[in-house]
Structure 1
Amino acid sequence: MIWKAIASAALALAAPAIAQDKPAAAKVSLTRLDCGTVRVNRLNAFSDTEAYPGQSRDLTVGCYLIRHGDQLMLWDLGLPSALKGADFSSDGDMSASVTRTLVEQLAELDLKPEDIDIVGISHFHFDHIAQLPDFPTAKLFIGKSDWDLLTQSPPPAFVDPTPFAHWISGGGQVEPVARDKDVFGDGSVVMFDMPGHTPGHHTLLVRLAGMGTVLLTGDQAHFQENYDSEGVPTFNTNRADTLASFGRFKALAKNLKATVIIQHEPRDVGKLPAFPKAAE
């Protein structure tokens, strides 16, 4: 009886991650939003094995609108709006610029910030969270280990809790996600716990009726070569966790026959329809 109870509990915990054959209860679509560009002057920072000496590269910053029936979710909140029109610089490790803000792009879809029900964050780095304050009525989903750092007093020097102030103060709803999270309860949108880049880093699965399964990397990888080699940036918080998460991510991609979208990879932008069209 004890082993039966343990097995039942284990299956219950695993349920959000294994609902691949369960049809979505609502129509789901996925739209890519342009959240800016990062010009990396020292690409070697993205390898703790010195794989890219002397190289530089432009990386895209992708944010994503998910429609689930009449509910709306944003995945990742991009670079600061203050960088709109900013010039790139060859000084320092990197610089960034934004062409259009999230609010401006949503307006083109006849949406207002208060129409967004959920904001999901892959992790707390500045290029994934900066426009979060523009959506104060949305419920925040974020990895619990990241949330613990953001709410620590004082927070670590490498963490900026400022964009989260509204939720930290109790002004907005927040759900710290400890493991995987089936966001809508039907297996169509699932946050996967993949620590390493940060302690609470998550990736996102979206099941579409036409396109099939899509996996958004968060920052599990930053560009194709980094993904292929399972490279670990120097600024990741845990190397072993990063490699374990790579193993899980790639196994999911293979087993689910998923389209992998590396959120910072310019070559992956074309895997989804160009804005304002959505993948369905």
Structure 2
Amino acid sequence: MVRKQLAALAASVAALLLPLSGTAQDKAAPALTLTRLDCGTVRVNQLNAFSDTLAYTGQSRDLSVGCYLIRHGETLMLWDFGLPVSLKNAELSREGAMSASMTRTIVEQLGELGIDAADIGYVAVSHFHFDHIGQLADFPKAKLLIGKGDWDVLTSPDKPASVNASPFAAWIDGGAPVEPVSGDKDVFGDGRVVMLNMPGHTPGHHALLVRLSETGTVLLSGDQAHFQENYDRNGVPTFNTDRADTLASFDRFKGLADNLGATVIIQHEPRDVAKLPPFPKAAE
């Protein structure tokens, strides 16, 4: 057990340190780009759902839903899968706790880029909540990368009724490859795209580090935070699975952001959309 833990720690350290040696700047390295896809809007009418200290009594706001296409040479990877297609052109409402809508599917946006769903080699999810897995099932042959803690919940016969495993059917049934990620995961082995272990929101929640040659280091938050004020306050949503883990992950996420001089993109923060080029352009 100790040897396995040391090996996992060494792999995480290697993933974060490798670009510092100059590997990421090697002119022979595959080209790397990051494109934001619009995966909808969530209207939150009771914002205190995102604060277990009731910091937002009486407040509401619209949150963006971002998905991301990563090109690593000839290999294509998607990070997060937005809202389900059933919510396309749904009406946003001021009634109830929240509502959600989307205007274009991931497949439609990929089509504008000349990409077919079958071209996607990797599908990676920050966590298993509905607004991050809604269109995952449209890519049933790609290799799935998911936090082990989340995978364990999805495949448990005792999973909570609130956890929807149906988008993962192709992988749970064995029809497509899956890699449950225990710690950090250097996706392509060159330190430029790294899944970062950030548990707390869910047991296997991850963020994503992307090191681009021109834009610099980008940190995609997953749901470490949902909007800027909650990021600033280290806010903990009422539905997170572990408060202590959430706060520890905030400490790590912000430490990495500061030490790497990273551009932080809070995936649900509309004000962060402009930090990346508008679709169909890509950050390089």
TM-score if structure 1 supplies the norm length?
Answer: 0.96
Q: Alpha-carbon deviation of 1:154?
A: 3.4
Taking the aligned partners of 2:46 and 2:227, their CA distance within structure 1 comes to: 14
Q: Which residue of 2 aligns with 1:58?
A: 62
Per the alignment, in what secondary structure is the counterpart of residue 53 of structure 1? coil
Q: Which residue of 1 aligns with 2:261?
A: 257
CA contact (8 A) 2:19 2:190 kept: no
1:1-21, Cα deviation, whole Å (9 max, x unpaired): xxxxx9888534521233231
Say yes or no: does 1:17 pair with 2:16. yes
> Counterparts of 1:50-89 in structure 2 under 5 Å?
50-89=54-93
10-19 or 180-189: bigger deviation: 10-19
Q: How many residues align?
A: 278
Taking the aligned partners of 1:169 and 1:229, their CA distance within structure 2 comes to: 41
Q: Alpha-carbon deviation of 1:90?
A: 1.8
Say yes or no: does 1:162 pair with 2:156. no
Q: Which residue of 2 aligns with 1:141?
A: 145
Q: Which amino acid aligns with 1:15?
A: A
Q: Alpha-carbon deviation of 1:149?
A: 0.3
Say yes or no: does 1:215 pair with 2:219. yes
> Counterparts of 1:189-208 in structure 2 under 5 Å?
189-208=193-212
Taking the aligned partners of 1:265 and 1:149, their CA distance within structure 2 comes to: 27
> Runs of at least 4 residues of structure 1 off by over 6 A?
6-9
Taking the aligned partners of 1:59 and 1:173, their CA distance within structure 2 comes to: 32
Taking the aligned partners of 1:188 and 1:84, their CA distance within structure 2 comes to: 33
1:143-186, Cα deviation, whole Å (9 max, x unpaired): 00000000001322221101001110001110000000000000
Q: Which residue of 2 aligns with 1:90?
A: 94
Distance 1:213 1:139, change over 3 A: same
Say yes or no: does 1:102 pair with 2:106. yes
RMSD across aligned positions (CA): 1.8
CA contact (8 A) 2:12 2:185 kept: no
Taking the aligned partners of 2:128 and 2:68, their CA distance within structure 1 comes to: 16
87-96 or 28-37: bigger deviation: 87-96
Taking the aligned partners of 2:42 and 2:181, their CA distance within structure 1 comes to: 28
CA contact (8 A) 1:17 1:192 kept: no
Q: Which amino acid aligns with 2:269?
A: E
Contiguous gaps of at least 5 residues in structure 1? 1-5
Contiguous gaps of at least 5 residues in structure 2? none
| Identity across the alignment (%) | 70
Q: Alpha-carbon deviation of 1:91?
A: 2.0
Taking the aligned partners of 1:171 and 1:183, their CA distance within structure 2 comes to: 21
Q: Which amino acid aligns with 1:204?
A: L
1:225-272, Cα deviation, whole Å (9 max, x unpaired): 000000000000000000000000000000000000000000000000
